[in-house]
Amino acid sequence: AAIPNNLEAFWMPFTANRQFKKAPRMFVGAKDMHYTTADGRQVLDGTAGLWCCNAGHGRPRIVEAVQKQVAEMDYAPAFQMGHPRAFELAARLAALLPSPLDHVFFTGSGSESVDTALKIAIAYQRAIGQGSRTRLIGRERGYHGVGFGGISVGGIVNNRKHFGTMLGGVDHIRHTHDPARNAFTRGQPDNGAEFAEDLIKVIQLHDASTIAAVIVEPVAGSTGVLIPPKGYLKRLREICDQHGILLIFDEVITGFGRLGTGFATEYFDVVPDLITTAKGITSGVIPMGAVFCSSKIYDAFMTGPEHMIELFHGYTYSAHPVACAAALGTLDTYEEEGLLTRASELASYWEDAVHSLKDCPKVIDVRNLGLIGAIELEPIAGEPTKRAFSAFLKAYEDGLLIRTTGDIIALSPPLIISKAQIDELFGKLRTVLQSNI
């Protein structure tokens, strides 16, 4: 199908899709593991959309739940009214979470979840008499969405350099990624837990009594699939505990089965104080996010002297009924099909498949964990991203959707992928990598 001439006028300028101009592409349909292109081709989804469609596409339980809810009640004002789906969903989510995380705040996206968690962290510290704790700590190469909170604690300089003043009082500790020692490591690297000690340096610099929280992605996705070394997250937890600092896991990507557990907290056996999620909560069907915290945190600021009325925070679309219904249909699908643990069943097959590409030309590292993978390519001098983008286009032409970030190819297929489809995915990728990219 032709692309309307005026598309650029009303759509292009304000999306992140800068590459559309170079190579216009449109999807017009999606079912299970595949997208359909405007010219009728099937494209295998190697990225679950944007790390979100964990249950695959067009899944009947979710479609049905959404249709039913729209017909029954489209919207309820979240500031004054509850509705049944919100309570059902909160209870279902709490059952998936490790103790003591048992409260949920609904948002409309990952970026909103991040802002919400940062605010809850500061509000909690204040409610327990630690009002001087307002500093926040993120990491270099951290990605936490594109709100001002997210770009401030995020570690991507390009995402913030044009936007003036960021959130004050933010430090960034080093990321754990150490290609010099860990290239081609299978799963979690043995080396690098000592990166957590960077947090001690910040504490020495600013004094722990000024720090509210540290936010990390258990596995960083958008900056190239950076896998935490063994012991790293546990050490961060210890340091935070010693110094009264809250630990926030940004599980927007790792939540809902990506590593073969409900959440990464279970996979790494480290329980943070707050978890941010989005994406897989509705399998990408409707925008939604959620922040989880314990009763201790919830009670402190909901019943403390500065009740939520003063700490005003909430979104028009918090706990949107249709989003809640989509999330309930998604949880049904995950549970009925065992999808939250499926990544653990496929993990070693997936690992072998990812590592089968390490002898391809221009591949300088491969990484994997659960059903997430990365192929890092040697950048072309002066033209970072060019090689990976060329791989993206070739893969797309050959019927495979991959995601690229810099010169890294990131993979995170829907959790319904079969072994035959894993073979197909890596077969196509091998052909692409062996061509002249």
Closest approach, Cβ 189 to ligand PMP, in A, equals 20
Select from 167, 203, 219, 252 the one that contacts ligand PMP (CB under 6 A): 252
Select from 65, 97, 101, 114 the one that contacts ligand PMP (CB under 6 A): 114
Select from 45, 102, 217, 351 the one that contacts ligand PMP (CB under 6 A): 217
Closest approach, Cβ 81 to ligand PMP, in A, equals 25
Select from 46, 49, 56, 110 the one that contacts ligand PMP (CB under 6 A): 110
> Which is nearer to ligand PMP, 102 or 250 (by Cβ)?
250
Select from 221, 329, 370, 373 the one that contacts ligand PMP (CB under 6 A): 221
Using CB under 6 A as the binding rule, whether residue 115 contacts ligand PMP is answered as no
> Which is nearer to ligand PMP, 250 or 351 (by Cβ)?
250
For residues 262 and 222, the answer to whether their CB atoms sit within 8 Å is no
Q: Residue ranges of the alpha helices (H) in 97-193? A: 110-127, 148-153, 157-160, 179-182
Using CB under 6 A as the binding rule, whether residue 144 contacts ligand PMP is answered as yes
Residue 367: both structure tokens together: 């990484």
Which residues have CB under 8 Å from 87's CB, separation 6+?
none
| Residue position matching structure tokens 């829907």 | 414
320 to 87, 205, 286, 313, 346: CA distances (angstroms): 12, 43, 10, 16, 34
Q: Which stretch binds ligand PMP (CB under 6 A): 110-118, 257-265, 378-386, 429-437?
A: 110-118
Select from 43, 89, 219, 253 the one that contacts ligand PMP (CB under 6 A): 253
> Which is nearer to ligand PMP, 51 or 350 (by Cβ)?
51
Residue 291: both structure tokens together: 């922040």
Burial grade of 79 (CB within 10 A; 0-12, 13-18, 19 or more):
exposed
Closest approach, Cβ 110 to ligand PMP, in A, equals 2
Closest approach, Cβ 264 to ligand PMP, in A, equals 11
For residues 65 and 325, the answer to whether their CB atoms sit within 8 Å is yes
Closest approach, Cβ 360 to ligand PMP, in A, equals 27
Closest approach, Cβ 147 to ligand PMP, in A, equals 7
> Which is nearer to ligand PMP, 54 or 111 (by Cβ)?
111
Question: Helices 110-127 and 295-303 sit at what angle, rounded to 10 degrees?
Answer: 70
By CB under 6 A, the count of residues binding ligand PMP is 14
Strands 274-277 and 289-294: antiparallel
For residues 153 and 144, the answer to whether their CB atoms sit within 8 Å is yes
| Residue position matching structure tokens 């990408």 | 284
Select from 145, 155, 373, 413 the one that contacts ligand PMP (CB under 6 A): 145
For residues 343 and 260, the answer to whether their CB atoms sit within 8 Å is yes
Backbone angles phi, psi at 278, to 5 degrees: -170, -135
Reported as half-sphere exposure (CB side, CA atoms, 13 A), residue 157 has a value of: 1
Closest approach, Cβ 114 to ligand PMP, in A, equals 5
Closest approach, Cβ 332 to ligand PMP, in A, equals 22
Which residue, among 230, 161, 180, 173, has the nearest Cα to 205 in the 3D structure?
173
For residues 101 and 271, the answer to whether their CB atoms sit within 8 Å is yes
Select from 106, 143, 315, 392 the one that contacts ligand PMP (CB under 6 A): 143
Using CB under 6 A as the binding rule, whether residue 278 contacts ligand PMP is answered as yes
Contacts with ligand PMP, residue ranges (CB under 6 A) = 109-111, 114, 143-145, 217, 221-222, 250, 252-253, 278
